[in-house]
């Protein structure tokens, strides 16, 4: 897909870094497209999304949404894959908390006894 600008044609994929099959980032940022698309799918306008990410230009927000609309089926599968990966990571974390988290849980339980 090509976007037309006043000065030149721009390939839409130039807005993204395809790091891995399950990692697509907005070029120049560590931000995955799933973050922008999450807001978009919740009903946020492009302008509202740009306000949520002040370092992200409105142009890149529109490019991300356009890329999604042009590749909806593929990106819906991508978003589900990212969601599943994140959920699995969360479950692993909950099932095996770090020593610091374990210590904080013990402290919290001890404090609850005295309330």
For residues 49 and 46, what is the distance between their CA atoms, to the nearest angstrom?
5
On the question of pLDDT at 7 being above 50, the answer is no
Task: Give just the sign of the alpha carbon dihedral 7, 19, 54, 68.
Answer: positive
Average pLDDT, the chain: 89
pTM, two decimal places: 0.74
DSSP for 4-61 reads: E-SS-EEEGGGGEEEEETTEEEETTSS-BHHHHHHHHHTT--HHHHHHHSTTS-HHHH
Q: What's the CATH number for 2-113?
A: 1.10.10.10
- Domain ranges for the chain: 2-113
Inter-residue long-range contacts of 83-90, CB under 8 Å, 24+ positions, other chains counted = 83/34, 85/22
The 10s digit of each residue's pLDDT in 22-39 is 899 999 999 999 999 999
pLDDT tens digits, 83-103: 999 899 888 888 888 888 888
Give me the torsion for CA of 101, 102, 108, 109, rounded to 10°: 160
């Amino acid at each position: 897909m090509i976007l037309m600008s006043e000065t030149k044609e721009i390939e839409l994929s130039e807005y993204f870094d395809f790091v891995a099959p399950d990692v697509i980032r907005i070029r120049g940022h560590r931000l995955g497209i799933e973050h922008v698309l999450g807001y978009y799918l919740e009903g946020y306008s492009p302008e509202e999304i740009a306000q949520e990410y002040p370092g992200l230009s409105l142009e890149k927000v529109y490019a991300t949404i356009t890329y999604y609309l042009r590749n909806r089926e593929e990106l819906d599968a991508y978003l589900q894959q990212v969601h599943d990966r994140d959920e699995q990571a969360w479950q692993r974390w909950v099932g095996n908390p770090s020593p610091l988290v374990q210590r904080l849980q013990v402290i919290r339980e001890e404090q609850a006894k005295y309330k």
